[in-house]
Amino acid sequence: MKTFMANAQTIERKWYVVDAENKTLGRLATVVASVLKGKHKPTYTPHVDSGDYVVIVNADKINLTGRKWDQKLYYSHSGYNGGLSSTAAKDVMKKFPTRMVEKAVKGMLPHTKLGAQMARKLFVYAGPEHKHSAQQPESLEV
């Protein structure tokens, strides 16, 4: 009996749409990252991007538990000495409504070229509309 190894020619990709309204950020991100990796498929192969496409809508209506809206900080560094700046989650949501979801999902993917390839299959929209209706995405419950 031979072990099955997927390759680029044998992968079949699906499209899924996820409604993020009233969903907890981390719990949503773990499910979406798993689908992007392809771990939900029986043909999962670690060194091949066998995941599916995911469209997330209503990203601006995501929930955070506890006092994370005030206490969770997102950091960025300018590259200069003393150039570390931090922004609270509520300010990030006001300015960039999709960024929190994107960062949460991308942080759960591998930090390699393969992970970057997986992250390209993620599409996040702040409102309920998306432009991927031609792909006939299936609804994915989280």
Is residue 4 scored above 90 in pLDDT? no
Instruction: Please name which of 55, 62, 45, 60 lies closest in space to residue 121, comparing C-alpha atoms.
Output: 55
What tokens were used for 3?
């072990």
pLDDT in tens, 49-85: 999 999 999 999 999 999 999 999 999 999 999 999 9
Cα end-to-end distance, the chain, whole Å: 36
Any bridge partners for residue 84, and if so which?
Answer: 77
Average pLDDT of 20-44? 96
Q: Output the CA–CA distances (angstroms, integers) from residue 73 to 43, 86, 103, 110, in the order listed.
A: 38, 6, 12, 22
CATH number of this structure's domain 15-63+97-139, picked from the four choices 3.30.70.270, 3.90.1180.10, 3.30.300.30, 3.30.1600.10: 3.90.1180.10
SS3 94: helix
- What is the spatial distance between Cα 71 and Cα 120, in angstroms, rounded to a whole number? 30
In the chain, where are the structural domains located? 15-63+97-139
Confidence at 3, pLDDT banded by 50, 70, 90: confident
